[in-house]
Amino acid sequence: MDFIPADKPLEKEILPLFTKTIPFQLPVEWKEFIVKVTPWVMVLLVPLHIFVIGLSAFASLFTAFFDHPLWSVGMLVSAAGLICSLLSIKGLFDRKREGWVWAYYAFLLFLLSDILYLRFIDAIITFLISGYFLFQIREYYK
């Protein structure tokens, strides 16, 4: 595979964690399968995420939503992550770097929203699992 520069925010710092320093790499067949399936998973998960954001917005009418400004910001960051997910779908189907970059931005925004919601365990799990798979298939998007 050709060299792809790590030129996005934090990409240069995160890339070695999931490619060079981790002792186990996915086999090529698994990577190719993930690259084929990922756009379809995104197509299925985006409507679910829209439903969850809508449900959260509706539930916030009955809670002290505005007493927790981090939750308000977290919901906005999560919505921005959803938009990045939507923008990534076409590029993921076409195997273009732009699609991977939008998925990477969604990964960062969802990670930030977990932190803003004070869900630190979720943030760690999101970082480890999503980051691992995202960076394992990075080389397929040019």
Residue 89 host element (H or E): helix 69-93
Residue pair 80/33 in contact by the 8 Å Cβ criterion: no
Determine the pLDDT at residue 1: 44
Indicate the domain borders of the chain: 26-140
Angle at 10 between CA 12 and CA 5, to 5 degrees: 35
Structure pTM? 0.83
137: CB partners within 8 A, 6+ apart = 31, 34, 35, 38, 100
- Spatial separation of the C-alpha atoms in residues 65 and 74, rounded to whole Å: 11
Digitized pLDDT (tens) for each residue of the chain, 142 residues in all? 456 777 888 888 888 888 888 888 888 999 999 999 988 988 888 888 778 777 776 666 556 555 677 777 888 888 899 899 999 999 999 999 999 999 999 999 999 999 988 889 999 998 999 999 999 999 999 8
**What pLDDT is attached to residue 56?**
72
